[in-house]
Amino acid sequence: MKLGRLNHIGIATPSIAESVAHFRGTMGATKIHEPFDLEAQGVKVCFVDTPTDSGMNGTQIELIEPLSDSSPIAGFLAKNPLGGQHHICFEVEDIEDARKWFEEQGKRILGPTRIGAHGTPIFFLHPKDMMGQLTEIMETPKEGAHWSN
Amino acid sequence: MKLGRLNHIGIATPSIAESVAHFRGTMGATKIHEPFDLEAQGVKVCFVDTPTDSGMNGTQIELIEPLSDSSPIAGFLAKNPLGGQHHICFEVEDIEDARKWFEEQGKRILGPTRIGAHGTPIFFLHPKDMMGQLTEIMETPKEGAHWSN
């Protein structure tokens, strides 16, 4: 497998509104997308773009807020009430090839491949098999594809 | 202040050698720099490059391993023995302007401005003032400058 783009880093927050105010007001972010619910994953999501030398196509910050107490990130926030870094997400060209690759490496995959926040297939890998990092693998959006956001 | 490049995400690890094997062997990283000691901060450091659409100038992974039990990241690893996400680092044009900006915002700055892993001035902001994220602010390397790595 070849390392793909670091698409985003996922940051859990008790309040997307407060995190947006933080990134806009304190950190100076200028391109912040509209928040939306990703009900299949039990979270509200909001992407913050970061600049590169050639534009605003850098690694995104993905703010995630639980939709309910049974959200997968509710436990994380119970331990980290202010929020904090939750996962990292790398792109791959083909999600099925990637799934097979990680299975062959003996890495535990958390649940089925499903549609992620960018509207392309994703899966998560167990942090205990990934040097402590909850790692999301996401298929690169095809050019011209509809994005969910 | 204007949001700068997400220069790197810092990942603490009990072993840079194991993390390099993970990123090279499992994740498919191809550009991994030589590790070096950053004694002023009590850590060994190793940068892993990630791709963008235009090259290998994406947000880097900064692997950090404690140089001793008194290293600032020793406590983090005691709580997270496998390692994990430790900090995020954004670039700014002028480190003194940025320091003044965050002071004006009432954000606690951890210690003096000092030289970081890329050979430019940096400082850290208290995670409790930054929505739970230990945040490093780093002056963008000037074109043609010597990099420490």
Confidence of residue A147 (pLDDT cuts 50, 70, 90): very low
3-class DSSP string for chain B: CCCCCEEEEEEECCCHHHHHHHHHHHCCCCCECCCEEEHHHCEEEEEECCCECCECCCCEEEEEEECCCCCCCHHHHHHCCCCEEEEEEEEECCHHHHHHHHHHCCCCEEEEEEECCCCCEEEEECHHHCCCCCEEEEECCCCCCCCCC
Q: Which value does ipTM take for this structure?
A: 0.93
Searching chain A, which residue's CA lies closest to the CA of residue B107?
Answer: A26
Q: How confident is the model at residue A53 (pLDDT cuts 50, 70, 90)?
A: confident
| Partner-chain contact B58 A52, CB within 8 Å | yes
B136 tagged catalytic: yes
Q: Which residue has the higher pLDDT, A53 or A49?
A: A49
Residues in chain B whose Cβ is within 8 Å of chain A? 1-6, 9, 11-13, 18-19, 22-23, 26-30, 50-54, 57-59, 61, 80, 82-85, 88, 90, 102, 105, 107, 127-128, 130-133
| Residue in A27, A82, A91 to test binding to B, most B beta-carbons within 10 Å | A27
pLDDT of res. A46? 98
Q: For residue A90, which of A6, A2, A1 has the smallest C-alpha distance?
A: A6
Return d(Cα A108, Cα B143) in angstroms, integer: 43
Residues 6+ apart with CB under 8 A from A111: A123, A124
Using CB atoms, pick whichever of A5, A11, A58 lies closest to residue B51.
A5
User: Which tens digit of pLDDT belongs to each residue from A108-122?
Assistant: 999 999 999 999 999
Residues of B in contact with A64 (CB under 8 A): none
- Which one of A62, A91, A136, A139 is the catalytic residue? A136
What's the rounded Cα separation, in Å, for the pair A61 and B9? 11
Inform me whether the pLDDT recorded for A101 exceeds 70.
yes
Contact B82 A27 (CB under 8 A): no
Q: What is the pLDDT of residues B67-87, one digit of tens each?
A: 999 998 999 999 999 999 999
Map out the domains of chain A with their CATH numbers: 6-139 (3.10.180.10)
Q: Which one has a higher pLDDT value, B146 or A128?
A: A128
Q: Chunk chain B into consecutive blocks of 10 residues (it has 149) and report each block's average pLDDT, rounded to whole numbers.
A: 96 98 97 95 96 92 96 94 97 98 98 95 97 97 56
Contact criterion met (CB < 8 Å) for B58 and A5:
yes
Of B3, B23, B61, the CB nearest to A28: B3
Q: Kindly list the distances between the CA atom of residue A8 and the CA atoms of A5, A25, A46, B45, B145, in Å, as whole numbers in the listed order.
A: 9, 21, 11, 22, 29
Q: Which of these, A39, A41, A46, A37, lies nearest to A11 by C-alpha position?
A: A46
Residues of B in contact with A84 (CB under 8 A): 127, 131-133
Q: Which residues in chain A touch residue B84, judged by CB atoms under 8 angstroms apart? A: 127, 131-133
